[in-house]
């Protein structure tokens, strides 16, 4: 194993342990010693990658980003939808993503700036909405920043509701319902008619990304996922 | 002071302290002793009203309900909007409501059933949407239960985002934006045109309720609220 690959794996092992401990104990109560014991790495390795508990939390918050974007779609609204449903699929299947989202909503996490993920997701949304607008896919009154914030905020709540009610089992249909309620106020009807908003879309996009980026398979194995279907081109 | 009124005030003092302690320490870390010390009531009084920490948390979760509903409106969509924006206004101005909502989203609150507020708010939404539908205010495809869940989930996230970004300062315009994004997919256009979705509506509805129920003033003083405007009849 190359040195760099080993470092990536060590970092990932530490973050996985941090994610689990933060989820079990909450940010405030969790300690670096617990994370160290669970990660089975040396103290030196842990502090090399993450000098403090706050750095560990930042790392878990960042792990919400897959690191590879949804492939370019001709229809930018579909690309935005795919970004949303991919995140929902990862939330349902990847404990690290769950831990990151929970940390963003952990109001007892004193001293941790939880605005980061909200602002980053808003920026992603604004960029895609601006492109959609430039292509004439959006209704003329749409303000990208406002719509992006509505989508990011709503998504955060819909996932929290799905978690509280059934531990994420109904997340894909809930996200599909959210999009079907919001997008008609945003997207030109003729464009919306060709956008795939079905609840199975997230798993399909993830399978498409795994085929494009084989390295995802190693770091993000997904035992709970049903056999993936290829995504129709958007 | 009548015996019953004293009991109501004692109960409220205990819940206010519980709300503050849960917010500061999180449900998991908070102890009944801390709440007792802060509430300045006897141990007997506290255990008479709330036999356990879980009962205290249930009490705080329930305090999200004002106890008096939005007055009947001729337009049921306006009544539903008023219910939503009133809750946003109370969340912005009443620490007890904030604590209840935070508890609902506290994923470290082990052993606490956090589904209650989500389900109760969904029921409120379904009832109002069913009435709106019976009056012909909704588009024909609307399924009340699905739309109610989208609104309840979205609201939970929009308030969490507002809290994380600016401690609720921009909550009314964010909720107004959410409603402007969701309702066009739900409400008949001619009805929607007459619905007040402005960001000042929540404060106006609260002022209207205070005028109708003077006892609210005693239990829910609102020093942070700007001078209320009377609500236009819906």
pLDDT in tens, A163-207: 889 989 999 999 999 999 999 999 999 999 999 999 999 999 999
DSSP state of A67: S
CATH value of B3-62 in 1.10.10.60, 2.40.290.10, 2.40.50.140, 3.30.565.10: 1.10.10.60
pLDDT at A228: 41
What does the alpha-carbon distance between residue B75 and residue B80 come to, in Å, rounded to a whole number? Answer: 9
Q: Which residue has the higher pLDDT, B63 or A57?
A: A57
Tokens of A137: 């896919």
| Rounded mean pLDDT, A89-110 | 81
Q: Cα-flanking dihedrals φ and ψ of residue B40, to 5°?
A: 55, 45
Tokens of A29: 């109560």
- Partner residue opposite A105 with nearest CB, options B28, B105, B180: B105
Q: Exposed e or buried b for every residue in A155-190, given b needs 16+ CB within 10 A?
A: bbbbbbbbbbbeebebbbebbbbbbbbbbbbbbbee
Is B222 in CB contact (< 8 Å) with chain A?
Answer: no
What class does CATH assign to A3-57?
Answer: mainly alpha
CATH 1.10.357 spans which residues of chain B?
76-219
Q: Among the listed ranges A59-63, A182-186, A219-223, B77-81, which one has the minimum average pLDDT value?
A: A219-223
pLDDT at B24: 81
pLDDT at B28: 82
- Partner residue opposite B185 with nearest CB, options A25, A104, A184: A184
User: Cα separations (Å) of A184 from A139, A187, B219?
Assistant: 9, 6, 42
pLDDT at A230: 46
> Residue B106 in contact with residue B61, Cβ under 8 Å?
no
CATH 1.10.10.60 spans which residues of chain A?
3-57
Q: Cα-flanking dihedrals φ and ψ of residue A51, to 5°?
A: -65, -10
pLDDT bracket for residue A224 (50, 70, 90): very low
User: Cα separations (Å) of A151 from A2, A84, A85, A129, B125?
Assistant: 41, 9, 12, 11, 20
**CB-CB under 8 Å, A150 with B158:** yes
pLDDT at A106: 74
pLDDT at B217: 65
> In order along chain B (234 residues), what is the average pLDDT of each group of 10 residues?
78 91 84 92 92 91 78 97 95 86 74 79 96 98 98 95 91 98 98 96 95 73 44 48
Tell whether the model's pLDDT for residue A223 goes beyond 60. no
B76-219 carries CATH number 1.10.357: yes
pLDDT at B124: 94
Distance of CA B91 to the CA centre of its chain: 6
pLDDT at B229: 44
Helix, strand, coil content of chain B in percent (nearest 5): 70, 0, 30
Which residues in chain B have Cβ-Cβ distances shorter than 8 Å to A145? none
Q: Which residue has the higher pLDDT, A65 or A206?
A: A206
What does the alpha-carbon distance between residue A84 and residue A76 come to, in Å, rounded to a whole number? Answer: 12
Alpha-carbon radius of gyration of chain B: 18
What does the alpha-carbon distance between residue A199 and residue B144 come to, in Å, rounded to a whole number? Answer: 19
Q: Which residue has the higher pLDDT, A119 or A5?
A: A119
| Rounded mean pLDDT, A21-47 | 89
pLDDT at B110: 66
| Rounded mean pLDDT, A152-169 | 93
- Partner residue opposite A157 with nearest CB, options B119, B158, B186: B158
Task: Give the ipTM of the model, two decimals please.
Answer: 0.82
pLDDT at B220: 54
Q: Cα-flanking dihedrals φ and ψ of residue A220, to 5°?
A: -130, 60
Helices (H), A141-219: 144-166, 171-182, 189-192, 201-212, 215-219
Which residues in chain A have Cβ-Cβ distances shorter than 8 Å to B28? 26, 29
Alpha-carbon radius of gyration of chain A: 19
Residue A212, min C-alpha distance to chain B (Å): 32
CATH 1.10.10.60 spans which residues of chain B?
3-62
Is B160 in CB contact (< 8 Å) with chain A?
Answer: yes
Is A163 in CB contact (< 8 Å) with chain B?
Answer: yes
What does the alpha-carbon distance between residue B109 and residue B101 come to, in Å, rounded to a whole number? Answer: 13
- The vertex-B18 CA angle with B122 and B34, nearest 5°, equals 150
pLDDT at B227: 38
- Partner residue opposite B157 with nearest CB, options A102, A106, A156: A156
């Amino acid at each position: 194993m190359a040195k760099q690959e080993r470092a990536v794996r060590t970092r990932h092992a530490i973050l996985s342990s941090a994610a689990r401990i933060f989820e079990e104990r909450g940010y405030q109560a969790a300690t670096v010693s617990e994370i160290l014991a669970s990660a089975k790495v040396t103290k030196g390795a842990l502090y090399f990658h993450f000098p403090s508990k706050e750095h560990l939390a930042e790392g878990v918050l960042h792990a919400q980003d897959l690191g590879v974007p949804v492939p370019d779609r001709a229809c930018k609204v579909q690309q935005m939808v795919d970004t949303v449903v991919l995140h929902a699929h990862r939330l349902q299947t990847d404990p690290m993503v769950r831990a990151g989202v929970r940390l963003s909503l952990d109001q007892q996490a004193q001293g941790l700036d939880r605005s980061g993920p909200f602002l980053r997701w808003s920026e992603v949304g604004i960029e895609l909405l601006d492109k959609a607008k430039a292509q004439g896919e959006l209704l003329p009154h749409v303000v990208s920043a406002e719509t992006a914030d509505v989508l990011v905020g709503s998504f955060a709540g819909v996932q929290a509701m799905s978690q509280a009610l059934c531990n994420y089992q109904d997340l894909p249909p809930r996200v599909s319902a959210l999009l079907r309620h919001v997008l008609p106020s945003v997207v030109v009807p003729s464009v919306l008619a060709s956008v795939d908003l079905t609840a199975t879309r997230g798993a399909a996009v993830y399978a498409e990304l795994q085929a494009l980026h084989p390295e995802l398979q190693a770091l993000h194995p997904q035992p709970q996922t049903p056999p993936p279907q290829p995504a129709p081109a958007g």
